[in-house]
Structure 1
Amino acid sequence: MADNTCKLAEGTRFSEELFSYLSKFFGFSKTSNIIGALVHPPSFYSIRVNTLKASVEEVYRSLCEKNIETVFHPILDDVLLIKVKGPFEIEVQGKIVVADKKAAESVYVGADLYAPGVISAKGVARSDFVTIVDEKGFPVANGIAMQSEVDILNQRKGLAVKVLRSRYQSASIRCLDEYASGKIYDQNIPAILTSIILEPTPHDVIVDMCAAPGGKTTHLAQLTSNKAKIYAFDNSKSKISKLIENINRLGVRNVSVIFSDSRYLHVDYPSLKADKVLLDPPCSALGVRPKLFEYKSVRDIIACAQYQMQFFKSAVEILKKGGILVYSTCTITPDENEIIVKYALENFPLELDKQILYLGTQGLNIIKGSNLLQRFYPDEHDTPGYFIAKFVKV
């Protein structure tokens, strides 16, 4: 088994330590399937139609007129699905441009490569045909250099490579007129579902504790027709800029954006009392797709879990009795999911509650109430890996 784990970890470019850790909870076969799916994008990208600005039917017609293969989500009535095509073979031709992990994963599914994401472009001249590879040398796309090596590495701005062929191809959602005009937001299905599970109403005071870049915040505004009072907190100034940009683009008018560390909201804002609290804290992001490689350690996962625990005191203190707290992550690790739920139940006046919609599967049976939790597996649900828990304060 150890030899198999080592070989599979090497083949998928995940660390052996991480593979072994996940196998303890999911078993060898399931872990293999999960990691195998994480390497690829889903079959469809989901977009949330911003009904503050447009109807789903209007956006659907508009995308179809652009010959973008689009279908309605069978259950979520404000969601459209855009087909992802591939995989396609990428031949290593021309000069090599090395992209960092984040940039390579975007290029892998059809995005152009911008200068900040370039690690090296040895000998590349403007107009050269190039092959883009990730940090490990895996080819993700072919394209035409729009800048020379000198300009890319010295100026660090602008389009570096125009992609002609990538491993996977889909519509460049953020280049669409519908995106620029605020009619759509690219968001995965479990993330969309998270805001629905919070059950927001126009009369609520809602706190989004880790709000940037604003997908869930703006969805909550949409679900409440711009009428709920929403406080969006984040402690990253760069991310808050993106949050404000999305709020403005989507026509959201009922959100107060506040730069603050949400672990201390109960101290910094003692009069703040919320009907609903959304806690989607920073995590190991092991469920994000596509993931070309991943070398996080178990120590990294435990550090994330310990950080996540620090938000609960504040969340519970600002939540009214009888109020709803939804906790979510874009990772698959039990330490950041079920074990966090166990910690919350043992240390705070919280009870698990049934979620109003289940599109995934129940949580791991390692804590009481696992049937009330919701998990998404990339190999099983064709989504990112994801976790959702709903609490009520008692």
Structure 2
Amino acid sequence: MNIHGIEIDDELYKHFLQFLSDSEIDALFLSITRPPRRYYIRVNTAKTTREELIGRLRARGVTAYPDERFDDALWMPVEGPFKIPTARKRVVVDKKAAESVMMGADLYAPGVVKTDHVRRGEEVNVVSDNGVVVAFGVAVSDSDEVMKTRRGLYIRVETSLYKTPKIRDLPEYRDGLFYSQSLPAIAVGHVAKRAGAATAVDLNAAPGGKATHLAQMDMRVVAFDRSWPKIERLKREVERLGLAGNIDVILHDSRYVDRDFPRLRADLALVDPPCTDIGVRPKIYHRVTMEMAKTLSRYQLQFLKTALKIASNVIYSTCTLTYIENEDVVKKSGAVPADVGLDVGGPGWGCPECRRFLPHVHDTPGFFIALLSRR
């Protein structure tokens, strides 16, 4: 069935019906197609203070507000939705590019699926590969050159469905003064801080948000990922943020670190494994089946069981909303849930110590956090 462009099968729908009503499921999936009203960044407190960064951003015309709960979080309002002007030319882009462009990002060549013949200076509509018009902009390169080289900026976006400040163009970003990160993901770092850990292992570290957050809190972090491109991106983030002294980055399948690194021990482990991504916002479209969720839950449990062998406390988090990938994985791990100590989000489904962030209730990305201890 298709709910506001989010396709799920009957079995997964019935799975959600165990915890939500029909109207709640509809509201949930509608909210996934829209961004939260707040766009969050995390202040890199290893390099600056929140007050200093607010001042520097405002001097550049970017208004940022301090979060009410976390002392290293800032947010900026998300504007929209806007009416997109109509252009004669169209550029079709993939899902990932469309979801970025609809928030105001410019379009780069790698995201283009196909394009009309466009000359530099011509107006175009940027359209997702399922037909949704996400932006209006002006070409800064000829289409022939873009499709030949598949590199560089193609469309400078002037009007998008939604708008956030283009903060990655700022010197403060290049200088590593902040990291773009959602509120629930920032919350994970504060759960780790309250746990009193001095050392941590991140089993699913790329792109680096949680590992670098712990590092800027002066924790010593070992960061694993099995993908070489992701490891390279993680290393770039660590360098940009100036945190190389606190993080060791290792290319490895972390499901087996207890076997391959038998001496590895830490106060805390982070597990944020691959998931069905239902909570990521905004989405142009998405397709998930119950079988996909079941397969991923088995994969997630492997990471979690390994983490519990190398650390006495583990933070398990996902950016999805199914019970089978969240509370059920926690239950099957045999670990003991502890109170995460957060006053944001809501209790888990059948796990009051856990924390769930529901997009239609909390206006955040969908997210799950559990703090676990070995029995």
Contact kept, 8 Å, 1:198 with 1:324, in 2: the verdict is: no
Contact kept, 8 Å, 2:197 with 2:268, in 1: the verdict is: no
Structure 2 CA distance for aligned equivalents of residues 360 and 261 of structure 1: 31
Contact kept, 8 Å, 1:115 with 1:160, in 2: the verdict is: yes
Residue 91 of structure 1 and its aligned partner are, at CA, apart by: 3.0
User: Who is 2:45 aligned against?
Assistant: 51
Residue 24 of structure 1 and its aligned partner are, at CA, apart by: 4.2
Residue 356 of structure 1 and its aligned partner are, at CA, apart by: 2.3
CA deviations over 1:235-290 (Å, ceiling 9, x no partner): 01101111111111111121111100000001100011111111111111110011
Secondary structure of the residue aligned to 1:152 is helix
User: Who is 1:387 aligned against?
Assistant: 368
Residue 137 of structure 1 and its aligned partner are, at CA, apart by: 0.8
User: Who is 1:129 aligned against?
Assistant: 123
1:275-314 equivalence runs, <5 A:
275-314=267-306
1:319-330 equivalence runs, <5 A:
319=311, 323-330=312-319
Residue 355 of structure 1 and its aligned partner are, at CA, apart by: 1.1
Structure 2 stretches of 5 or more lacking a match? none
Secondary structure of the residue aligned to 1:163 is strand
Contact kept, 8 Å, 1:140 with 1:166, in 2: the verdict is: yes
Secondary structure of the residue aligned to 2:159 is strand
Secondary structure of the residue aligned to 1:232 is strand
Structure 1 CA distance for aligned equivalents of residues 228 and 95 of structure 2: 23
Contact kept, 8 Å, 2:184 with 2:367, in 1: the verdict is: yes
User: Who is 1:344 aligned against?
Assistant: 333
User: Who is 1:268 aligned against?
Assistant: 260
Structure 2 CA distance for aligned equivalents of residues 324 and 233 of structure 1: 17
User: Who is 1:240 aligned against?
Assistant: 231
Secondary structure of the residue aligned to 2:179 is strand
In the alignment, is residue 229 of structure 1 matched against residue 220 of structure 2? yes
In the alignment, is residue 112 of structure 1 matched against residue 106 of structure 2? yes
Structure 1 CA distance for aligned equivalents of residues 343 and 249 of structure 2: 30
Contact kept, 8 Å, 2:304 with 2:316, in 1: the verdict is: no
User: Who is 1:364 aligned against?
Assistant: 349
Contact kept, 8 Å, 2:43 with 2:179, in 1: the verdict is: yes
Structure 1 CA distance for aligned equivalents of residues 256 and 192 of structure 2: 22
- The match for 1:164 among 142, 145, 158 is 158
Structure 1 CA distance for aligned equivalents of residues 68 and 330 of structure 2: 30
Q: Which amino acid aligns with 1:282?
A: P
Identity over the aligned pairs, expressed in percent? 39
Q: Which amino acid aligns with 2:295?
A: A
User: Who is 1:3 aligned against?
Assistant: none
Secondary structure of the residue aligned to 1:230 is strand
Q: Which amino acid aligns with 2:277?
A: A
Structure 2 CA distance for aligned equivalents of residues 340 and 91 of structure 1: 46
Secondary structure of the residue aligned to 1:265 is helix
Secondary structure of the residue aligned to 2:250 is strand
CA deviations over 1:56-103 (Å, ceiling 9, x no partner): 000111111222222110111111111111110113322110010000
Structure 1 CA distance for aligned equivalents of residues 94 and 76 of structure 2: 26
Shift in CA distance, 23/176, structure 1 to aligned 2, threshold 3 Å:
farther
Structure 1 CA distance for aligned equivalents of residues 304 and 164 of structure 2: 39
Structure 1 CA distance for aligned equivalents of residues 13 and 175 of structure 2: 43
Structure 1 CA distance for aligned equivalents of residues 342 and 19 of structure 2: 25
Residue 200 of structure 1 and its aligned partner are, at CA, apart by: 6.6
Structure 1 CA distance for aligned equivalents of residues 184 and 248 of structure 2: 25
Q: Which amino acid aligns with 1:371?
A: P
User: Who is 2:323 aligned against?
Assistant: 334
Structure 2 CA distance for aligned equivalents of residues 69 and 199 of structure 1: 28
User: Who is 1:101 aligned against?
Assistant: 95
Shift in CA distance, 343/203, structure 1 to aligned 2, threshold 3 Å:
closer
In the alignment, is residue 184 of structure 1 matched against residue 184 of structure 2? no
Structure 2 CA distance for aligned equivalents of residues 328 and 125 of structure 1: 46
Q: Which amino acid aligns with 2:198?
A: D
Residue 169 of structure 1 and its aligned partner are, at CA, apart by: 0.8
User: Who is 1:318 aligned against?
Assistant: 310
Contact kept, 8 Å, 1:178 with 1:184, in 2: the verdict is: yes
User: Who is 2:355 aligned against?
Assistant: 374
Structure 2 CA distance for aligned equivalents of residues 166 and 62 of structure 1: 26
Structure 1 stretches of 5 or more lacking a match? 1-5
- The match for 1:91 among 82, 85, 95 is 85
User: Who is 1:257 aligned against?
Assistant: 249
Superposition RMSD in Å: 1.6
CA deviations over 1:365-391 (Å, ceiling 9, x no partner): 3xxxx1101000111111100000111
